[in-house]
Amino acid sequence: MTKEIMNELGQTEKEFLNAYNTEKYNATKFSVTSDCLIFTVENADGKEESIDLDDKRLKIALIQRANHPHIDKWALPGGFVNKGRETSLEAAKRELGEETEISGIYLEQLYTLDDIERDQRDHIISVSYMSLVDKIEKELRAGSDAKKAEWFEVERKVTQINKSIIENGFIREKFIDIVLIKEDIKIISKIKEVTAVKNRARRTKLELVNRGGLAFDHAIVINLALDRIKNKVEYTDIMFNLLPEYFTIAEAYKVYQLTTNKNDTVQNFRKKFKNVRKMIIETDKTTKKYSPRPAKLYKLNIHWDDHEG
């Protein structure tokens, strides 16, 4: 074991740890928050009634901040991580439990934001998690630090692309609007994606241009989440976290469209996900919700990627 090895001060590991004073480095220590990007798909009006799939929207949960900074602005639900007592993932789960009624939903780490000026109080780090839930388990509650909690339609619009050629490369600026809508509230947060390519080096940076009604740098991480969802929908089964256990092909295709913004046909979608990838399987249930002819209800085939080992 390493126990008997001495460091340059002649300390054993035990002596070193006893002498290690966690308070000593306080001026250099960070507060860490865990922020949740909770996505769902539901009707634009949030009600169950509509039988028109065109009413479906991709939505994200936001809370209205009850305190400074960015008081009254909308923000991702989240909170400080309790040092020594939980991980940021556990904090995210705790926050999810506080904001919503959930259990066993999809959750993955997304990105860590740590710009020096991102929070006016201090240099505070945010570890963000992305979560996908279906409508059964999505009652939102405002936590103690929030005035309200609401589902916002989320959409991304590229408003401008500038490309300038430089020696052995180019610089491309992509201006993106993150648009968030809940009834009469419309938030537009503007960000810029700068890709600089020179020789073999390619570097991409996301900058906040105008945060609009959205707190902190949350638009940046929403943009990252939309990218990641788009990618993962193509080669994993995450989209089925946005659907109920039993769903029609048309419903699944709508979620596919909302997350990828692709415009294929429902027939080809059926072939790809059912026949080729065998990602969904028929059940003996049907629904007449959308048409006179009953539509089969399908469910996720959890063994679809068994060949992966």
| Residue 44 or 156 with smaller CB distance to a second copy | 156
267's contact among a second copy, DNA, none, with CB below 5 to 8 A by partner kind, is DNA
Placement of tokens 């490369």 in the chain: 169
Cβ atoms 127, 221 nearer than 8 A:
no
| Residue 43 or 301 with smaller CB distance to a second copy | 301
Cβ atoms 124, 31 nearer than 8 A:
yes
CA 205, CA 115: separation in Å to the nearest integer? 12
2's contact among DNA, a second copy, none, with CB below 5 to 8 A by partner kind, is a second copy
CA 9, CA 2: separation in Å to the nearest integer? 16
| Residue 84 or 292 with smaller CB distance to a second copy | 84
CA 261, CA 256: separation in Å to the nearest integer? 8
- Binding to DNA by residue 106, rule CB under 7 A? no
17's contact among DNA, a second copy, none, with CB below 5 to 8 A by partner kind, is a second copy
For helices 218-235 and 249-260, angle between their N-to-C axes, nearest 10 degrees:
130
| Residue 42 or 237 with smaller CB distance to a second copy | 237
Hey, which residues does 247 pair with through a beta bridge? 298
- Binding to DNA by residue 64, rule CB under 7 A? no
| Residue 168 or 210 with smaller CB distance to a second copy | 168
Near DNA in 236-295, by CB under 7 A: 248-250, 264-268, 270-272, 276, 288, 290-295
**Shortest Å distance, C-beta 105 to DNA:** 26
197's contact among a second copy, DNA, none, with CB below 5 to 8 A by partner kind, is a second copy
Written as six digits, the tokens of 190 are 């503007």
- Binding to DNA by residue 301, rule CB under 7 A? no
| Residue 47 or 85 with smaller CB distance to a second copy | 85
**Shortest Å distance, C-beta 293 to a second copy:** 26
> Which residues fall within 8 angstroms of residue 29, CB to CB, at 6 or more apart?
none
Placement of tokens 């991709």 in the chain: 58
Which run of H or E residues covers position 299?
Answer: strand 295-300
Of the candidates 228, 49, 33, 202, the one whose C-alpha atom is nearest the C-alpha of residue 128 is: 33
Residues lying near DNA in the complex (CB under 7 A) are found at 248-250, 264-268, 270-272, 276, 288, 290-296
